[in-house]
Structure 1
Amino acid sequence: LILMGRVLSGIPLAGAALIGALVTLLRSAASQAEPSESTDPKLIPARSTRIRLSRSFLRQLGILESELRKTAMEEEWTIDWQTHEAAHSAARAALQRRDYSATLRELAKSIDALMAGVHAYRKQIVREARWGKSGGLGG
């Protein structure tokens, strides 16, 4: 993927895909928003809305999760694979049952496990840039 003249891969590509998926969800939510019960804006601290989860959105999120998983394996991130696989399997089962809320919940857990790996990887990169591969322990 080329964005603003730069080739995106790995973590930046996964981040761009996640942002795109979230923008799609928010646009969908805005177009399907139901008005709140109260019409006085002073009495509404935050707005809530109901959305209809669609197979196409969940498919896009699944593709994002798949790309993130592929990057995690290629770049050898430290991932709790047991947690990830349990959530991934539960998401697939929920999708087969057409339980879209459960599918979204389990996909979120799966992506969360992968994003924990992104966080650890970034910390490692920063630490190595600052202290070198030995971690500053003189070895």
Structure 2
Amino acid sequence: MNIASIRNAGIKHRIAGVAVAGAAVLAVGGATTVSAQAQSSASTSASAESSSAAAYRCPSGAICVHGYKVVNGHKKYSWASPKYSCVNHGPWKKWMPTSYINNQTHGTVAKFKDVDKRTIQKSKPASSSGPVKGKVKYPGRTFYVKPC
């Protein structure tokens, strides 16, 4: 890659697991140098799904769902607030869930539901050894999550 300079005002980037608020990014021959202030907390609206999803910590006892909505033609990724209660949470009309972290009680399975509240996917069971991650199979058809 040739020398490239990208100026990103207000866009968040993740490099080596650290969230960085972008001021200027300089890439030289494959190496990347960032001139910006690092942020220690996970970004709730990152510019890419993998960067936002990788840093999120789902609270104990919750199912956490990650997804996006389209804003001005661009996907804006974020986490929905953690869900604890055994009810249908939603509907998500313009937000598309793409992945989840199941950090509920050992063995608990969450259900992802369509617009008619029919189960279209079940999460992997929660584990006693830590949070369990998975993908939402039908982002465009998933409108609700029920944590139990």
- TM surpasses 0.5: no
Considering only CA atoms, is the larger Rg found in Structure 1 or Structure 2? 1
Structure with bigger RCO (C-alpha 8 Å, 6+ apart): 1
Task: Looking at secondary structure, tell me which structure has more strand per residue.
Answer: 2
Task: Looking at secondary structure, tell me which structure has more helix per residue.
Answer: 1
TM-score by length of 1: 0.28
TM-score by length of 2: 0.26
